[in-house]
Structure 1
Amino acid sequence: MIRLLVSLYFVVFVSIIAINQGSEFIWQHWVYQAPDDLRHAKQVAKSLQASVSEPAHLASSIQRYSIDEIAWLAEQREQLLQGDVITTYTERNDALLSFLLKDNATLVQLGPFQPAEQVLLPKYLLKLCSFLLLAVLLMFWLRPLWRDLMQLKYVTEQLSKGQLDISIARSRFSAIATLTSQFHTMATKVANLMSNQKHLVNAVSHELRTPLARLKFALAMLEKQAPEPVYQMSQDVLEMEVLIDEMLSYARLEMAQSTLQFKPFDIVALLNEQMKKLQRITKKQIELDCPFSQLSLVAERHYIARALQNLMVNAHKYGQENIYIGVKATQSHIMLLVGDDGKGIDEKEHAKVFEPFSRLEKSRNKSSGGFGLGLAIVAKIVAWHGGQCEIQTSQWGGALFVIYLPRSH
């Protein structure tokens, strides 16, 4: 913080000093000293005063008076007696130049002259150029800072897409060079963790399935000798297989974001496809609320289908007799609704059910199937699409899951 403040203060201070000095130099040498009629006339008056000693030597067209014929202020009279050329103005704001000859009695007046025009335009142009120059200098100071910030944004986007090959071009002139270096170290560690997770998933996929296959074969050979214990052990092996499949599915989903392809498709057609699949596995009454014959959504069709499938299977497991499926739309969002007439979910547990491997003890436990990854997968897919998922109460008092998806990306 202090380093950033000192750096900015130093740049602004030096810039203002340099701009002020440069503006003063330009004003004095190029603007203020520009020639005009009045200034030129003053030079002629001084030359005339120095070269003419007698009134008779003056041209007849030049006006001459006695110094006492005009009422002068005390200061003006003193200046005339000292040999200065003074400037007075008429009612029309024209300038008159007055001076005394060497006899200190004869007053000569030249004019009238139009006064020098005000140099407002050059003055404001010079101020504008000064402010623009200050902006340019600040841009030079901000460029390394902006470059580092854009690199931080780029790295976060790469990590969010699952791309682990990241690099940062460090700049020692930036005010946040230390932060950039620390962020690069952290990003590298995160990338290594993600890479290790990927290798772990592959290892689990290959290394655990092989001994499980051997166990299944051995249990099949022993089934005739001890059918009851073998059956119980077979159920445990089957449960392990299902758990491994769920874990692998969720782990692969973690790394699938980089392959997402958002394309427009008909969400109503997709909903009908998923309903037909649900009707094959359930005897519960399905209530469909879809006032649209066709509705376009820009998203990844495969993963939206996966999210809908998980919610429908969830409603089939925990519902009693009824399942509700609905579609609503606004100008910017599409809402997908899936509900049931089960026991519902307590409001305190709404956030918890979207966490991986989270199961509610009373109404949604392992005895009814699942390992707590279905809703976590739904939440992740919805987050990828920039939407959100919330839990409400259905018309029967059970759980109602509502997915909000933006219509375009």
Structure 2
Amino acid sequence: MMRLPKITSLYGRIFAIFWFTMFLVLMVVLSLPHFDPRKVSDIPDPYYQRLIQARDNIQRHFADQSSIEFIVSQLSSNLRNNEHDDHRNSDKRRDSSFDFFITDADGNILSLQGRPTPEERAVRNLVTNIENVNNPQQKLYGRYMLSGPIPIRLAQTDYYLYVGVKWSRPPSFLIQLFDHPFQLLLATMLISTPLLLWLAWALSQPARRLERAAKRVARGEFDIDPSLEKGTSEFRQAGASFNQMVKAVNQMISRQQRLLSDISHELRSPLTRLRMANSLAQRKQGQSPELTRIDTETQRLESMINNLLDLSRMQIDSHMNRERQPLASLWEALLEDTQYEAEQMEKSLTYNTIPDRALLCHPQLMMSALENIVRNAIYYGKTTILINMQVDSNRLMLTVEDDGDGVPKEEREAIFRPFYRVSTARDAHSGGRGLGLAITENAIRQHNGSIEASQSDLGGLKVTVELPLEQKDK
């Protein structure tokens, strides 16, 4: 059996389904008129056999009559009796009670009444619509079904018989559609909508997979997703390119880690030799301010290298070691410890109730981020440190502010750069290396958050952190 080629192109699939839907709707619309009983149509065979049997009964009943007028009067009397029965008791009359009309070969109705009845006008209309008298047809007139012509021989003459019957069935769904164009439009939409919805769903699935993968990368999760390379050719190509990008990022991170390891090894070797040479010089020449300064700067340089390596290591590992952590589990113990430390320095640290929400994060990195901000506020604040946590639309708004000297407006963005220190307060003699806020900013950014510094109402620095939270379980 011949099989149709599989359509893998996105645009090819869209056009194929669109034209199939339009073809199906067009076929339905074009075929509906053929089912309309108000149009001339062939008589169903079972019903036609009943009409033939009724014709034969009439021929037998009036076989001895030679007057067509008498026969017509009898048939007309039967029609009037049927109508009288309808008004008196409609339950006594069944759909099988026929009304009979006789026409001559030219289609003239044989009637004893001067004024034509509605039924006779329907017969005249059907006569004009019949193209071949040898092919009986039927047509619905309101609630009256009329069929004919059926050849009949009465009073030694050939005539044509037309049979009418009351249409007691409720209006069919098709008739309602034809009478109400809005309903026809609604039915057409009901036919096409499921196909179009399926098309929209089928086309949106690869896009949603790509969207979810992009969100994972935005959260720092650089995982290759094989499902992205499924679907139409356009999405397969996009998915393959996306996976290739993720692979390249992972390789770049690995190379960076290897480079930093090599650099640390190369820097530590001369630093170690320098400290050994300084120790030998002190042993031979004794202590001197110059040699002491060399040893201090050597230790400081080694400490800076270690801090840089720790920062780089956290940047590299943060996207790999993610887990769901409640905010209280992350920061409650840290805030209690820092509150105690602030009291020992005769300063007040207060914080509100930690929200009962969870965060998908690298726990160590997030704890280090808040610790750096809080300890920075404790160190530079004079008497008061305020910490506030609020949840707004599944995002955590965290603020830490103090009443210290603050940071000049033009330097507030720069304090998040590595090794940057504000000249008025954060110099090398304060004990800092200029890496605390840099580590914090990097950690917040890797968790798809934001951080900014501003002027606090207390007079010092205010650090605002915004982080996305996990959806709360319903």
Q: Which TM-score tier does this pair reach, normalised by the shorter chain?
A: 0.7 to 0.9
Q: CA contact under 8 A between 2:339 and 2:349: conserved in structure 1? A: no
* C-alpha displacement of 1:247: 0.7
Deviations 1:125-162 (A, max 9, x none): 8974554345445655x2xx734752574376268545
Deviations 1:316-364 (A, max 9, x none): 5544x33414345558776654333433224454443334444445554
Paired residue for 1:251? 312
1:213-252, aligned counterparts within 5 Å?
213-223=272-282, 225=285, 227-252=288-313
Residue 255 of structure 2: which of 193, 196, 211 is its match? 196
Paired residue for 2:338? 274
CA distance in 1, matches of 2:201, 2:399: 50
Residues 44 and 87 of structure 1, relative CA distance in 2, 3 Å threshold? farther
CA distance in 2, matches of 1:81, 1:37: 12
- Partner of 1:345: helix, strand, or coil? coil
| Percent sequence identity over aligned pairs | 21
Count of matched residue pairs:
394
CA distance in 2, matches of 1:10, 1:96: 47
- 1:339 and 2:392 are equivalent in the alignment: no
Residue 182 of structure 1: which of 234, 238, 241 is its match? 241
Residues 12 and 248 of structure 1, relative CA distance in 2, 3 Å threshold? same
Residue 16 of structure 1: which of 16, 21, 26 is its match? 21
Q: TM-score, normalised by structure 2?
A: 0.64
Deviations 1:49-73 (A, max 9, x none): 9999989559987745461527366
Amino acid in the other structure paired with 1:378: T
Deviations 1:229-255 (A, max 9, x none): 323322331231121122112111112
Moved more, 102-111 or 249-258: 102-111
Amino acid in the other structure paired with 2:288: P
Q: TM-score, normalised by structure 1?
A: 0.72
Between structure 1 and structure 2, the one with the greater Rg is: 2
CA distance in 2, matches of 1:37, 1:186: 69
* C-alpha displacement of 1:193: 0.7
Unaligned runs of 5+ in 2: 1-7, 66-70, 76-98, 104-108, 178-183
Residues 167 and 9 of structure 1, relative CA distance in 2, 3 Å threshold? closer
Residues 235 and 279 of structure 1, relative CA distance in 2, 3 Å threshold? farther
Unaligned runs of 5+ in 1: none
1:3-402, aligned counterparts within 5 Å?
6-7=11-12, 9-20=14-25, 23=28, 39-40=44-45, 43-44=48-49, 56=62, 63-65=100-102, 67-69=109-111, 71=116, 76=126, 78-79=128-129, 83=133, 85=137, 87=139, 89=141, 93-97=143-147, 99=149, 101=151, 106=159, 108-114=161-167, 118-120=172-174, 128=190, 130-136=192-198, 142=203, 146-147=205-206, 150=209, 153-154=212-213, 157=216, 160-161=219-220, 170-171=229-230, 173-223=232-282, 225=285, 227-257=288-318, 258-264=320-326, 265=328, 267-277=331-341, 283=345, 285-290=346-351, 298-299=358-359, 302-319=364-381, 321-329=382-390, 337-361=399-423, 363-366=425-428, 368-383=430-445, 388-402=450-464
Deviations 1:181-214 (A, max 9, x none): 4333332221211111121233234332232122
Amino acid in the other structure paired with 2:414: K
Q: CA contact under 8 A between 1:148 and 1:174: conserved in structure 2? A: no
Please report the RMSD computed on the Cα atoms of aligned residues, expressed in angstroms.
4.8
Amino acid in the other structure paired with 1:19: L
- Partner of 2:323: helix, strand, or coil? coil
* C-alpha displacement of 1:401: 2.2
Residues 127 and 398 of structure 1, relative CA distance in 2, 3 Å threshold? closer
Q: CA contact under 8 A between 2:101 and 2:161: conserved in structure 1? A: yes
Q: CA contact under 8 A between 1:390 and 1:402: conserved in structure 2? A: yes
Amino acid in the other structure paired with 2:146: L
Q: CA contact under 8 A between 1:81 and 1:100: conserved in structure 2? A: no
Residues 87 and 306 of structure 1, relative CA distance in 2, 3 Å threshold? closer
- Partner of 2:229: helix, strand, or coil? coil
- Partner of 1:397: helix, strand, or coil? coil
CA distance in 2, matches of 1:376, 1:334: 20
Q: CA contact under 8 A between 2:101 and 2:163: conserved in structure 1? A: no
